[in-house]
Structure formats: C-alpha cells, structure tokens
Amino acid sequence: MSKLFTPLQLRSVQCRNRITVSPMCQYSSVDGFATDWHLVHLGSRAVGGAGLIITEATAVSPEARISPFDLGIWKDEHLEKLQQITAFMTAQGAVPGIQLAHAGRKASTNVPWKGRGKVAIEEGGWEVVAPSAIAFADNYPMPVALDASGIQKIINDFQAAAERALQAGFKVIEIHSAHGYLLHEFLSPLSNKRSDVYGGSFENRTRLLLEIIAAIRTVWPDELPLLVRLSATDWAEGGWNIDESVQLARLLQQHGVDLLDVSSGGLVNYQKITAGPGYQLPFASRIKKETGMLTGTVGMITTAVQAETILVNGDADMVIIAREMLRQPYFPLQAAHELKENTDWPVQYERAKW
C-alpha cells in the first residue's frame, strides 16, 4: 500500500488516507449561514475521496469574519445547514473538520474579486480588533487594541464555537493561528507591541492561543482530535520564525493538540517569499523531526507522486491540498489510480474506476 493511502489515526478518528482538503474561503455566506454552495463544494470533495475535509475559516463571532460573506458558527441557527453538510461528508467516508477563526486586523474587508481593502462601517463593515493598533496595510481598517475584557470574549467565542461544532457533527477542529489573522497577530512581534501579559516574551505572545486551546478542550471530547494551523515564519525580518514554531509545537503537544498544519506568511504586506513546489515543506519536516509531533504540509502540492514522496521521506504525516482540489475535486481518486491503489470509489462512479 502506498503511504498516501495508508489510514491516519487521530485519537478515535481514522482518516481513510493522508489527503486533506485545506480550508479555502468561499465568500458565499450571508450572515454566516452555509448554503447549497458549501454543500456541493465540500460534498464533492468527499465524493472525490479525500480523507479529511476542513471547512473554510469559520468565524467565531460576526466581527471575526474576514469579509461580510464569510461562513460563521456564532449562533445556533447556523447549525442546521452545517449538520446536513457533515452528514453528507460522513456518508461518503470523509471526516468532517472545521477551522475556527478570527480575522483580527484583517477583518471587515472586501471579497478578493472586489479587490480587498476595507469595508466601511456605513457600507456594512465593523470595528476590527487586534493585539495592537497597527493596520495591516494602508487600505485596511485601523484596529482597536484589545483590552482584557475583549480578550476574554474571544476566548469565550472560540469555546462556544467548539460546542456548536460538536453539535453540527464535526469530528475535527482546527484552530486558525496563521496567515496574519488574530492569533497569528498575537504570536508575531511585528504585530504585537503589547506590554501586558499577552505581549513581549515568547511566553506572553503564545498565551492567548494556549488559553483558547484549554477553553476548547473543556468542551471538545477527549476522543476527538484538535489541530492548529500555524504560519511557521513571517518571511520578514524580526517576525515570527521557525525556531519559535518548533518551540511552540512542543507546547502544543502538551496542551492536547494532535497535529500541526504548517503553512507560512500572511502577517505583513512586505513579506518576501520565494515560492515553488514544496517551498513550505522544510518547515513541517523540521517541526516533525525535532518534536515528534504529527504535521501536515501545504503549498503547491499538485501530483500523486509528489504527495507520496513527501510522506515516504518522513517529512510530514498528511498532505493538505487547496488549489489542486479546486482544479480537481476528485484528485484522491485520480491519485489512487496513478499509484495503483485499489481504493474504494462511490458505487455510482465505479464504472470509471479502471
């Protein structure tokens, strides 16, 4: 059996293979509600054979959204459609996962096809928050620095969202602490200039993430896995770096995190990235090899052989695929064919298997 199609056990949850659909914002919600678009988008990847499917960044409060059209899980009314989606994914053999997120200073912005930039309050936007009053860019909102009560509200919002995620039928939670959103903003000294217990030292900058993990673990069952998405480096001088990511990974293991989804960048608009196939793989590999923690790797993974090689070499435990899954919702079925794996197909599609 190929490594790519070897099941991966995460606590009581078994993923049928090592192919995960990465969270990808669809900007197709109104007031946070999932729609038939989400059912078809996520459901088709389940039919296509993915082992784990993680929803787009799902806002834990209205002000946590990136745009006014983000998916949300801040009220009970959101659950009915999400339950339909998770039931369908489960019936197709995929594990349904949800990424819980807060956009921080990158909130209240336009959808990408409208050019990003801030959405003014009079046009449906809202006041945004961050560790410190530093805007992401000139055309982004100026955030308000969070006070103690604001920080506690965010912890409570993540905890309540985790409770709803369980009711909605999700089996995996991923906490979004990457790509320049709120929890990443607390981690990086480029965006966190606080002088209280949430700023300054490594211990202080990681405090909020660890407190959110602890709060979620009080309501998320012990038998279900918890993941964190992390930007391993800011790709900018003086920012969060891979050494700190290794150090944080060791703490996350102690706090009940089962796998680290290792990405990079997104914090500042002056980052300098040299991108190419596998350009982020060294980060996941180093964290895995130095800490023993399970890792997933992302970024320009486009072929079955490339994915298989990553796993065979021991550089990661899971491949987390985004754009190729948009191009090929049935990438896992095609990968199984290329690797000569006799994996299960939906019975409705079996006539095309060979």
Q: Which residues have a catalytic role annotated? A: 181
Q: How far is CA 53 from the centre of its chain?
A: 11
Identify whether the C-beta of residue 243 lies closer than 8 Å to the C-beta of residue 271. no
Query: What is the distance between the alpha carbons of residues 237 and 188, in angstroms, rounded to a whole number?
Result: 11
Burial status of residue 149 (CB atoms within 10 A of its CB: 0-12, 13-18, 19 or more): exposed
Q: Is 83 exposed, middle or buried (0-12, 13-18, 19+ CB in 10 A)?
A: middle
SS3 content of the chain, % helix, strand, coil (to 5): 40, 15, 45
| Tokens describing residue 51 | 């082992």
Residue with tokens 């293991």: 253
Retrieve residue 283's tokens. 């980060």
Q: Could you give the CA distance from residue 242 to residue 86 in angstroms, rounded to a whole number?
A: 34
For 293, phi and psi rounded to 5 degrees?
-75, 145
In the block, tokens 């040299």 appear at: 274
Backbone angles phi, psi at 144, to 5 degrees: -95, 130
Beta carbons of 67 and 74 less than 8 angstroms apart: no
In Å, how far from its chain's centre is CA 42?
15
